Structure 1
Amino acid sequence: MKRGGQVIYSGPLGRNSHKIIEYFEAIPGVTKIKDKYNPATWMLEVSSIAAEARLAMDFAEYYKTSTLHQRNKALVSELSTPPPGAKDVYFTTQYSQSTLGQFKSCLWKQWLTYWRSPDYNLVRYFFTLAAALMVGTVFWKAGKKRHSSADLNTIIGALYGSVFFVGVNNCQTVQPVVAVERTVFYRERAAGMYSALPYAIAQVVCEIPYVFFETIYFAFIVYAMVGFEWKVEKVCWFFFVSFFSFLYFTYYGMMTVSITPNHQVAAIFGAAFYGLFNLFSGFFIPRP
């Protein structure tokens, strides 16, 4: 094709490109190819705009009047007409795999993507570790002081602030990752590889082990440094609340990307609701 999308040759190349060489050498005024010269380079040189100006001709118009073009049109017309008795191609399902098969493929793909994204996982792990140490340092052994309502309010504030702080970070860091993956999702879904539901479920499931590991060291660092009571039910309850709060914020970040055109708009949209979450979470406005 030449500049402008016009076809100047459409046909077989032949061994060592002898077919296309014969075609262009048959045009009057075209320089013959030299021995051991690259056919692709030669073809670009002899069909350039400068060559057209020198020969005072249009290679696209020459191709339209050539016998090669007529043969191609006849071949297209022949192949466009189905043979007698032929039936249209029909598939019983829209996708080649079942919903479970699509989910497995999407989960495998998402798992590899997350495993090969250390900039995303390590950054949020480091931030969570820093936040846990900061909360533990600021509220050092505050859990042992429960003599007044002010002490209790301090403990609740430590729990609330640490979970909310890390949760917002999870929400913000996941948005660019989901935005990049969404571009790939559009292309693969258009190709009929899978539907939206298995992809979404796989993306949700893939976050669970990473957030679980994040919660393990966060919960135990904060729990130990703040000095809460070491009872199995209380440790499990603290871990449960932290884990599902982190998951909630991470999934909220995914949702904001899904309903907005890009992650910049998603960040603005997500930040608009942080204040509502903060206000109505039960800490600033307690249950009556």
Structure 2
Amino acid sequence: MKEVLQLIELDEIKDALVGTCGVSGISTEQRKRLTIAVELVSNPSIIFMDEPTIGLDARAAVVVMRVVKNIVSTKRTVVCTIHQPSIDIFEAFNEGIPGVSQIKENYNPATWMLEVTNPSVEAELEVDFAHLYKESHLYQDKDQDLFNIMGSVYVFTISIGASNLLSILPIVTSQRTIMYWEKFAGMYPSKAHSLAQVQSYPHIILLCILNM
């Protein structure tokens, strides 16, 4: 927890009350960082952020993106969308594409991005940006992280199914004596009782198959 607070730069206000947004407590920018900190507690390998700088002024947006860069420095993958970033935020992304000209000073980042990703630029450089990305280490790392996540989801689903199956066994054991009495009384056959005990099995198996 202490490491996360330092990473998100909230260690100085760790004892502050969150309060009500716009009324009391911490600022909007600090709330943004607090939201990111909550996600970091589970130590994810990939973090998806949808417009983390929305609703912030230029200074607060730079602070949030500095925190995002701190997260990247811990070998985590961060995927975020940013609309109309300022030049200060844009320069935080320091990896470029070989052959593509760097952004000029005081140039609009959004305009530059539209220009360099145009199909005519690919034709001029004789490169395929999609193929270039698939061969990069970023794609390989992301692919491995996604594979790990899917594996974790699969194991978690199987564990839930096994747990549900095991939870039925004590019930079957406790009702066995009652079933024998009612069977000998001719109330119902043993097959009907067995089917009633496993009626949730198809649902559990279907969930496991859908999440494979």
**Shared fold (TM-score, shorter chain, > 0.5):** no
Q: TM-score with structure 1 length normalisation? A: 0.24
TM-score by length of 2: 0.31
Which is richer in helix? 1
